[in-house]
Structure 1
Amino acid sequence: MAFTLVLLLIGALLVVVIVFNAMQQQKERAEAVRRTELTRQRSIMEETEEVLSNTGMFPCSPNVSLVLYRRIRDAAVQALQLVPPQQRGDYERRILDLDSLISTQQSSGASIPSLESFKLPDNDRQILTLVQTLKKLRAIVRDEHNKGKLDPTVFANEEGRINNLQLRINVESMLSRARSSCYMKQYGSSRQMVTKALSTLNAIKAQTPNDPFIGKKVEEAKLLLDEINSAVKTNAPAAATTKKEENDIDVIFQPKKKW
C-alpha cells in the first residue's frame, strides 16, 4: 500500500513538473513573439519617421504626409499593447501628438506642390539620401495601399509623382555628370551619358508628351550633345597637328641611313 502511494506521488510529481515545464516554455515563446513584434513595430516607426524627416528635400504632397503620420500612429498603437507598463506613458503621449498632427494636416487644406519647383541637390550625399528616401516612400505607399488604408486614386497619383521625381533625379544626374565630363574633355563619356539621358527622355515622352519637364530636358540634352560634338571637332585638328609635329621630330632625330 505504501509502495503504491509512493508511486502515485512520484507520478503526480512528474505530471506537475511536465506541466510546469510546458507552461514555462509557452511563456518563453510568447515573450519571444512579443519582443519580435515590438521590435518590428519600432522599426516601422523609425523608418517612417526617417522618411518623414526627409520629405523637405522634394515637393511632398499632403496626402503622403498623412500616410506617413498614420503609419507611425498605427505602429505606436500596436507597440503600446506590447511594451512594459512603465513605458506605456511615452507611447500614449506619442499617439496623442500624432492625433493632433493628423487632425491639423486634414484641416489645413494644403494644395499639392508642383514638381516644377524641384531642384536636384548639389551634394552627392544628399542626392543618395533623396534616392533612398523615395525608394522607401514608394514601398510604404504600396504597403499602405495593399492594406486597404489608401484610396486607389490617391495611390495612383502619389506613385506617379514618385516615379516622376525619380525620373527627374536620374536625368538631372546624367546631364550633370555629362557636363562635368565635357568640362574635363572626356567627350566619349560625356556623349554616352547624354545619349542615355535622351533615350530615357524619349521613352517617357512617348507616354507623357505634354510633360513640360520632359520637353525642356530633351532640348537641354540636344544642346549639350551639339556642344560636345562641336568640342570634339574643334580639338580634333589640334590633336592631328600635334601628332604630325611629333612625326616630323621623329624623322629629324631618327638614325641616319648609310649608303
Structure 2
Amino acid sequence: MTFTLVLILIGALFLLIIGISLIQQQKERAEAERRMELKRQRAIIDETESVLSSTGLASFPSSIILVLYKRINEALQVSVSYLVNQPQQADYQRRQIDIQAQITNLNNNAMQALAIENFRLPDNDKQILELVQMLKKIKAIVRAENNKGKIEPQVFAEAESRIDSYQLRINVESMLSRARASNSLKQFGSSKQMVSKALATLQAIKAKTPDDPFISRKVDEAKELLSEINSQQKQVIPDAVKPNKNEGDDIDMLFQPKKKW
C-alpha cells in the first residue's frame, strides 16, 4: 500500500514537472514571438519614417503621403498592444497621437503634387542616391499596402505612374552622364550605347506624357551628345590607323640588307 502511494506521488510529481516545463516553454515562446513582432513593427516604423523624410526630394500628392502615415500609425498601434513596459508604451501612444494629428491635417488640407514636368534632379550626388533609394522603397511600400487592400485603385495607379516617371527621368540623366564619361575616355561604343538607351527611355516617357518639355530638352541634349561622339570618333580613328613612326623604323631596320663585317 505504501509502495503504491509512493509511486502515485512520484507519478504526480513527474506530471507536475512536465506541466510546469510546458507552461514555461509556452511563456518563452510567447515572449520570443512578442519581441519578434515588436522588432518587425519597429523596422516598419523606421523604414517608413526614413521614406517620409526624403519625400521632399520629389513631389507627391497628400493621398500618397497618407499611405505612409497610416502605415506608421498601424505599426504603432500593433506595437502598443505588444508592449509591457509602461513608459515605453506611453511613448508609443504619444507618437501615435502625433501621427493621427498629421493624418487628420492631410485629410482636411489635401495637397496636390507639382506637375511631373517640373521635376528637376538634385545637383548633389548624395541627394540623387537618396532620391533613388526613396523611390525604390516607396514603390515597394505602395505595392505592399495595395496587396493588403489598403489603397484605393486610383491612388495606387497615380502613385505607380508618378514613381515610374521619376525613375525614368533619373535613368535618362544617369545614362547621359555615363555616356559623357565614356566619351571622355574615348570609349565611343559604350558611349553610343548609353545615348541610344537614353533615347529609348525618352520614348517611353513620351508615351505617358507627350507634352512633357523634359522630353524635348533631353532628346536635343542626347542628339547633340551623339553628334559630339561621332565627331570625336572621326578625329581619333584616323590617328589610330596611322602607322607609328617608330614602329615603321623598326620594320625597315628588320628588312634592310644585313651588313657584312
Task: State TM-score, norm by structure 1.
Answer: 0.88
Aligned residues: 257
Tell me the residue number matched to 1:216: 217
CA deviation after TM superposition for structure 1 residue 164, in Å: 0.8
Q: Which stretch has the larger CA shift, 136-145 or 193-202?
A: 193-202
Letter in 2 for 1:6: V
Question: Does 1:254 pair with 2:224?
Answer: no
Q: Secondary structure at the match of 1:111?
A: coil
Given that 1:59 and 1:117 are in contact with CA atoms closer than 8 Å, whether structure 2 keeps it comes out as no
CA deviation after TM superposition for structure 1 residue 165, in Å: 0.7
Decide whether aligned partners of structure 1 residues 252 and 11 sit closer, same or farther in structure 2, where only a CA change above 3 A counts. closer
Give distance in 2, aligned partners of 1:237 and 1:171. Answer: 32
Letter in 1 for 2:67: V
1:12-51 aligned within 5 A: 12-51=12-51
Give distance in 1, aligned partners of 2:56 and 2:132. Answer: 13
Give distance in 2, aligned partners of 1:196 and 1:57. Answer: 25
Tell me the residue number matched to 2:9: 9
Tell me the residue number matched to 1:152: 153
Tell me the residue number matched to 2:234: 233
CA deviation after TM superposition for structure 1 residue 204, in Å: 4.7
CA deviation after TM superposition for structure 1 residue 19, in Å: 1.3
Q: Which stretch has the larger CA shift, 113-122 or 161-170?
A: 113-122
Give distance in 2, aligned partners of 1:228 and 1:201. Answer: 19
CA deviation after TM superposition for structure 1 residue 14, in Å: 1.6
1:36-115 aligned within 5 A: 36-86=36-86, 87-115=88-116
CA deviation after TM superposition for structure 1 residue 15, in Å: 1.9
CA deviation after TM superposition for structure 1 residue 217, in Å: 2.2
CA deviation after TM superposition for structure 1 residue 229, in Å: 1.1
Give distance in 1, aligned partners of 2:257 and 2:3. Answer: 125
Give distance in 1, aligned partners of 2:7 and 2:208. Answer: 84
Letter in 2 for 1:91: Y
Deviations along 1:174-209, one digit per CA (max 9) or x if unpaired, are: 011212333444333221211121223334545654
1:62-211 aligned within 5 A: 62-86=62-86, 87-206=88-207, 209-211=210-212
Decide whether aligned partners of structure 1 residues 233 and 196 sit closer, same or farther in structure 2, where only a CA change above 3 A counts. same
CA deviation after TM superposition for structure 1 residue 222, in Å: 1.7
Decide whether aligned partners of structure 1 residues 10 and 188 sit closer, same or farther in structure 2, where only a CA change above 3 A counts. same
CA deviation after TM superposition for structure 1 residue 118, in Å: 2.2
CA deviation after TM superposition for structure 1 residue 226, in Å: 1.5
Give distance in 2, aligned partners of 1:203 and 1:99. Answer: 39
Given that 1:194 and 1:221 are in contact with CA atoms closer than 8 Å, whether structure 2 keeps it comes out as yes
Give distance in 2, aligned partners of 1:238 and 1:162. Answer: 46
Q: Which residues of structure 2 form unaligned runs of 5+?
A: none
Given that 2:57 and 2:131 are in contact with CA atoms closer than 8 Å, whether structure 1 keeps it comes out as yes
Deviations along 1:135-169, one digit per CA (max 9) or x if unpaired, are: 11111001111111111001001111011111111
Task: State TM-score, norm by structure 2.
Answer: 0.88
Given that 2:60 and 2:112 are in contact with CA atoms closer than 8 Å, whether structure 1 keeps it comes out as no
Q: Which stretch has the larger CA shift, 35-44 or 105-114?
A: 105-114
Give distance in 1, aligned partners of 2:104 and 2:30. Answer: 36
CA deviation after TM superposition for structure 1 residue 251, in Å: 7.5
Given that 2:70 and 2:103 are in contact with CA atoms closer than 8 Å, whether structure 1 keeps it comes out as yes
Decide whether aligned partners of structure 1 residues 246 and 61 sit closer, same or farther in structure 2, where only a CA change above 3 A counts. farther
